[in-house]
Structure 1
Amino acid sequence: MSTDLLPPDELERRLRAIGDERYHVHHPFHRLLHGGKLTKPQVQAWALNRYYYQASIPRKDATLLARLSTPELRREWRRRLVDHDGDGTAPGGVERWLKLTDGLGLDRDYVISLQGLLPGTRFAVDAYVAWVRDRSVLEAVASSLTEMFSPNIISERVSGMLRNYDFVTADTLAYFTPRLTQAPQDVAFALEYVKREARSRAEQDQVLGALRFKCDLLWAQLDALHFAYVEPALPPPGAFRP
């Protein structure tokens, strides 16, 4: 294995190649979702389980915020908390996701209770929160770089769902509109940070490994959904059943 430091542009190229191969836009469940091939109950199952991921992002970011050493870094990560939690006057991403589950006809108290969550979802999301808490700041920041690929998946998701599902409206999918501007802002900071702070080949490899881990985690959540609600359609005891 080479120990030569990668030029910053080459590191970025390798990060983007990981997304091209591993990002969950390629998962069969997502292709079914965007293509209008799922039933309303299957879409409800996706939204309900995805809520746990959305609601856990601020917890994940808070564990990282506590370890950042400068006011500039803390301000950046505090902005992400506000994006997801809101500021008390404007709703954040977690509240907007609940409007999505409302729009799909799910009981809000049931969604928030997590009673219908798939075990696979819970294990994957909890692993992500713990991973960011326990790994280096460099790796934690790098794991957020899946947002490099999110604008494309958001555009595909919104257009496909509006076109293919008569039970979905633009208001239902309003969660995604702010992310089209928030995600590129997040990426610009995180990508510049990892290119600057990964000062050895070993640290660059950690950055690449962090993005692979995050892509695998997102993929695993869709594996759980596909197994439970598509094929062989065997939801485990206690999980959401339409």
Structure 2
Amino acid sequence: MEERLRLIGETRYHNLHPFHDMLHGGRLTKGQVQAWAINRYYYQSSIPLKDAIIVSRFTDRLIRVEWRHRIEDHDGAPESEGGIERWLQLTDGLGISRDYVESTQGILPATRFAVDAYVHFVRDRSPLEAIASSLTELFAPQLHEQRISGMLEHYDFIRPEIMTYFKRRLSQAPRDAAFALDYVKRNARTPEERALVCDALLFKTQVLWVQLDALYHAYVSGFPPPGAFRPQVEA
């Protein structure tokens, strides 16, 4: 099962999407990078919602204790900022109003549908599938490394201090992925359960992929839908 999971990552993870090649290779305008950051905010801000749902699915206190740190990782705590705040520092650095970003009024319809589908998935499917859907974290650190180096190298409007979200995830993602992988390996006991685990990861890769499809169609091909963010400054 683990071999199949890793094969899904190697062949389906969104690091393979051409939009990411453009983003990391310096081939996007500032307006296109802004559009990516605005839309991705909706995903980032929904992560603690889906994690709170996962916590609520378990009667096992130890699992709840382990999983709830993910909520603080993104929401923050009184003594520390979280991933959402660090993402807003990125959009601040890109020159976008926080009120506009947090309103999510400029995101693409496909972004909203895909992210909401992910939240509904962890609510409606089995707890095993809900945890399995998080296993894209297995493949995230390499993508974050590419993003940090590529964007800092190629965009003069990207400063190191606004990339802290990705730097922090370099240590958080492996920890989270290790727990989730161990959980599914211990609890997927039948061929049917192991297939559900793999299908859950496949679903999650599709959630991530379709968001980039929508960004490419709207901001590379040039067909933003009514009401979506429209870049004002091209660089």
Question: Shorter-chain TM-score: which interval?
Answer: over 0.9
User: Is 1:186 the counterpart of 2:176 in the alignment?
Assistant: yes
Q: CA shift at 1:77, angstroms?
A: 1.0
Question: Which of 51, 74, 79 matches 2:69?
Answer: 79
Q: What's 1:175 paired with?
A: 165
Q: CA shift at 1:111, angstroms?
A: 0.3
User: Is 1:152 the counterpart of 2:142 in the alignment?
Assistant: yes
Q: CA shift at 1:108, angstroms?
A: 0.5
Q: CA shift at 1:67, angstroms?
A: 1.1
Q: What's 2:85 paired with?
A: 95
SS of 2:157's equivalent?
coil
Quote the Cα distance in structure 1 between the aligned partners of 2:188 and 2:117.
24
SS of 1:172's equivalent?
helix
Q: What's 2:57 paired with?
A: 67
User: Is 1:25 the counterpart of 2:15 in the alignment?
Assistant: yes
Quote the Cα distance in structure 1 between the aligned partners of 2:208 and 2:82.
21
Quote the Cα distance in structure 2 between the aligned partners of 1:133 and 1:94.
22
Structure 1 unaligned runs (5+)?
Answer: 1-10
How high is the TM-score relative to the length of structure 2? 0.97
Specify the code of the residue in structure 2 equivalent to 1:235: P
Question: Which of 124, 127, 151 matches 1:161?
Answer: 151
Quote the Cα distance in structure 2 between the aligned partners of 1:88 and 1:30.
34
Specify the code of the residue in structure 1 equivalent to 2:164: A
Q: 1:33-60 deviations in whole A, cap 9, x for unaligned?
A: 0000000000000000000000000000
User: Is 1:37 the counterpart of 2:27 in the alignment?
Assistant: yes
Specify the code of the residue in structure 2 equivalent to 1:216: Q
Quote the Cα distance in structure 2 between the aligned partners of 1:172 and 1:12.
35
Question: Which of 206, 213, 216 matches 1:216?
Answer: 206
Q: CA shift at 1:144, angstroms?
A: 0.2
Quote the Cα distance in structure 2 between the aligned partners of 1:139 and 1:173.
31
Quote the Cα distance in structure 2 between the aligned partners of 1:88 and 1:176.
21
SS of 1:132's equivalent?
helix
Q: What's 2:224 paired with?
A: 235
User: Is 1:112 the counterpart of 2:102 in the alignment?
Assistant: yes
Q: Which is worse superposed, 119-128 or 68-77?
A: 68-77
Q: Using the aligned pairs only, state the percent identity.
A: 62
Q: What's 1:207 paired with?
A: 197
SS of 1:106's equivalent?
coil
Moved over 4 A (4+): none
Q: CA shift at 1:70, angstroms?
A: 1.1
RMSD over aligned CA atoms reads 0.5
Quote the Cα distance in structure 1 between the aligned partners of 2:165 and 2:95.
16
Q: CA shift at 1:145, angstroms?
A: 0.3
Structure 2 unaligned runs (5+)?
Answer: none
Quote the Cα distance in structure 1 between the aligned partners of 2:35 and 2:125.
31
SS of 2:227's equivalent?
coil
